[in-house]
Structure 1
Amino acid sequence: MIYLGKIGVILIAITVVCTGCWDRAEINDIALMMASSLDLEEDGRYYGLSQIAVPSRQIDNSPQATKSYFVESGIGTNVQEIVQHEQPKLSRKLFISQRRVLFIGEKLARKGINDIIDHFSRNSLSRLRTYVLIVKGGEGKDAIMTDYPMEFVPSEAVREIEKQSGGMTATFRDLFNAASGEGIEPVLSAIELTPSPQKPKGSEPVKKTFNLTGTAIFKDLKLLGYLDNHDTQLLHWITGKLKQGIIIVQLPNKKNNVSVTLIESKGVIAPTVEGSKVKFAIHLKGKGTIDESNTHLDFSDPKNLHMVEKELEQLVRTETVKLIENVQKKYASDIFGFGDTLHKKNKKAWKKLKPQWKESFAEAEISVDVDFVVTRAGMTGPSLQLREQEITK
């Protein structure tokens, strides 16, 4: 009985302490922020928009249903002041934990984002998995106001487009890790608003849609320029973040090409230091399948597969060297993390080179080696429309 009494006292004590979630909020009392945008005003202040979900509209599929979200605005000298300006306009408390996406206008990005990103790590409700995108050639407010027909909330469309991009994404976590790291500069996804192919009716304005258009290059948290989608694919291959991709291989006759889909990729960076000179050997490995061919080749013949592999390796090698040299000369921004690799593998050399790393990176020698294997050539050897005499064995 004494033992049972002690157990009872313990259970009572636990129930007193475990009173549930102290900061719990009822769903009917909060305004769910799904996305936000930031732009730079002429007076130096920041203009922000919040995309807020309207839950009741998201379950109403009738033609008469209005938008499943609305947008509220604020202006301030920092992000928290923007939120404070938005809150008095809302009947519910603004809740930022569900934010999927942050759009940053190009003008603000070029000025620098150092003064606006602290809020997103310091606020306990902010999520580091939120995607961060630069609106190429435009403003964040234009992106957040763009509708998308396949999703209830446009920010969800952008999130899904990012997820489908084969690893070419950037979140707050990626941004903070690179910004605070040794020998690496941040990159963020770039998005454009492109005209929809659907013709407008009457006097309606031309509708625009989202287009993930590559990578925004930063240095000291200031936007310098962009990489297109092809170079972005190479960047993520080098850094080991590429999940999928497509390579179009032009064959020696320059008239025909083969489309190869990447199913596996790996990038290895090996630094060597000779005095004040640093060299980086990059080894790229990959596997893929042939998903389209406008050649007359019979891919059931291993010889033809081997030819495609060699042409692909040469193409990737040439374009990777071109990409790295362009970034070295034009931007001098170590977006590849070469310095980070040197820091991890040769701390003594890094300590010596760190003070002038920007110059050392721009002058570093680069070599690239590529190993690629075509694992499958699709359902057929030659294209089925070819006659026997047209097939190249």
Structure 2
Amino acid sequence: MVRKHPHTCFKDNYLLPLLRRAALLGALVLVILASAGCWDRKEINDLAFVMGAAIDQKSDGVIELSVQVFLPKAAGAGQATGGQAATKGSGSEQTMVRYAEGISIADAMSHLQERLPREIFWGHNEVYIFGEARAQHGIREDVDFILRSSKPRERSQVFISKGQAKDTLELIPPLERNSSEVLRELSAFHTGLEVTMKNLAEQLTGDTNAGAIPYIVKLPPEPGKPATQTISYIQGSAIFKNGKMVGTMDNRETRGILWLRNEVKKSFFTVTPDNSKGYVSVTMIRSYTQLIPTLVDGTWKMTVHIETENGIQQNTTGNNLGDLEWLKTVETSLDEAIKARIQTVLKIAQKDYHSDIFGFADAFHKKHPKQWNLAKGHWSDVFTTMEVEVLSHSRILRPGVSNSDAISPQKGVDSQ
């Protein structure tokens, strides 16, 4: 008969219960994970995907929230009726517009959910559009709600609409799937301002307390087409001060805003150099804008230094661009065109709107924090009387093939 060592018996008696408990605990964890993995899942068929949202001012103290909902349907499902639905007329995609009123966005959203059999899902929302009346009334509270809520997307594009914002959602674009996608694609071209909800909040709460947002208008439909079969497009910018819209700027003036904010990504200029009968068209390769704030003896001054690198697109002057002296003349013409554009937008912002939409306050805050703290309470007055010097240095790196025999039409002017 073999007898176990006493220490061996002790280990067996001690380890077996521990192993059993560990196995039981492991099995329990697996059961919990398996049963809790999909407890909060949401089926696609139960969701209404919002592609765009519009906020309009209906009356004093009442707003209207409209949402453009994407609904996959079979081809030939029908046309828009009563402003409630919009479809391309072919294909399986359809967008439906629903709207509800309330004293705030939160209130309107709750009423809106009552009118939809599916749960509103904001994860695919691409644009927010504020009607002009709502923008003039003030949008601080709306922006605050959108950023506080966990459902709406803070990186969605923001626009101000001439007239009612809801009208843009109800348009039926000829090419894209819906009108919200049209606005998103137009913003991607970088020919104008590109503002997200997060950017807008930073503008409204920053040192300048002012901002600029893309301004959209409805393109007239082609002759014989329904009034809704068109798109809204960007036509300049809406200027904000203290959370309210105070005016607009056209496309040309908006380009000046981009130059001053170092946000120019695409630019095209057509200039008429001195001593020439034609014009030269150039496209910008890259650019850089530097704001240099100075404060001497109580005088606030901003120096704007701009450097650009460009390529020739067309030359109708009849002069040889291989001539360095002539190339220098073209560069000088570009500098003058850039400075003229910036001076124009500066005059409007300082004299008409008294709104620092260029970020001058941020530059002074960083460079002269003590003086800034004393002046921030009346910054609009400081900005209005501030001296601004614009220095431009343009270089042509790609003159292309010389074209001294080009036909010279009438003189042109700078375009974008």
TM-score (norm 1): 0.88
Matched, 1:237 2:259: yes
Unaligned residue ranges in structure 1 (runs of 5+): 388-393
**Kept after mapping to 2: 8 A contact 1:277/1:360:** no
Unaligned residue ranges in structure 2 (runs of 5+): 1-14, 78-86, 409-416
Which of these residues, 102, 107, 112, is aligned with residue 86 of structure 1?
112
Does the C-alpha gap of structure 1 residues 187 and 57 become closer, same or farther in structure 2, counting only changes over 3 Å? farther
Matched with 1:106 is 132
Paired residue secondary structure (1:126) = coil
* Aligned mates of 2:333, 2:62 — CA distance in 1: 52
- Mark the structure with the bigger radius of gyration: 2
Which of these residues, 303, 311, 317, is aligned with residue 281 of structure 1?
303
**Kept after mapping to 2: 8 A contact 1:321/1:367:** no
Matched, 1:33 2:50: yes
Paired residue secondary structure (1:41) = strand
Matched with 2:193 is 168
Paired residue secondary structure (2:99) = strand
1:49-198 → structure 2 map (5 Å cutoff): 49-56=66-73, 65=91, 68-136=94-162, 138-166=163-191, 168-196=193-221, 198=222
1:319-330 → structure 2 map (5 Å cutoff): 319-330=341-352
* Aligned mates of 1:305, 1:339 — CA distance in 2: 37
* Aligned mates of 1:159, 1:58 — CA distance in 2: 25
**Kept after mapping to 2: 8 A contact 1:110/1:224:** yes
**Kept after mapping to 1: 8 A contact 2:210/2:355:** yes
Paired residue secondary structure (1:54) = strand
- Offset at residue 373 of structure 1 (A): 1.2
Q: Deviations over 1:332-356 (max 9, x none)?
A: 1010110111111211121121121
* Aligned mates of 2:51, 2:245 — CA distance in 1: 25
* Aligned mates of 1:282, 1:162 — CA distance in 2: 26
Q: Deviations over 1:84-111 (max 9, x none)?
A: 2221221211111211011111111111
Matched with 2:83 is none
**Kept after mapping to 2: 8 A contact 1:256/1:294:** yes
- Offset at residue 383 of structure 1 (A): 6.6
Q: Deviations over 1:191-222 (max 9, x none)?
A: 111213x2115xx5485422211111100011
Q: Deviations over 1:302-333 (max 9, x none)?
A: 33322111110112112212321221010110
Which of these residues, 34, 56, 61, is aligned with residue 44 of structure 1?
61
Does the C-alpha gap of structure 1 residues 67 and 115 become closer, same or farther in structure 2, counting only changes over 3 Å? same
Letter in 1 for 2:266: Q
Q: Deviations over 1:156-189 (max 9, x none)?
A: 1110111113462111011011112123522111
**Kept after mapping to 2: 8 A contact 1:184/1:336:** no
* Aligned mates of 2:117, 2:376 — CA distance in 1: 52
Paired residue secondary structure (1:267) = strand
**Kept after mapping to 2: 8 A contact 1:58/1:68:** no
Does the C-alpha gap of structure 1 residues 91 and 69 become closer, same or farther in structure 2, counting only changes over 3 Å? same
Task: Provide the identity percentage.
Answer: 28
* Aligned mates of 1:270, 1:134 — CA distance in 2: 31
* Aligned mates of 2:55, 2:116 — CA distance in 1: 19
Does the C-alpha gap of structure 1 residues 259 and 189 become closer, same or farther in structure 2, counting only changes over 3 Å? same
* Aligned mates of 2:49, 2:189 — CA distance in 1: 24
Paired residue secondary structure (2:219) = strand
1:212-227 → structure 2 map (5 Å cutoff): 212-227=234-249
* Aligned mates of 1:296, 1:270 — CA distance in 2: 39
**Kept after mapping to 2: 8 A contact 1:215/1:226:** yes
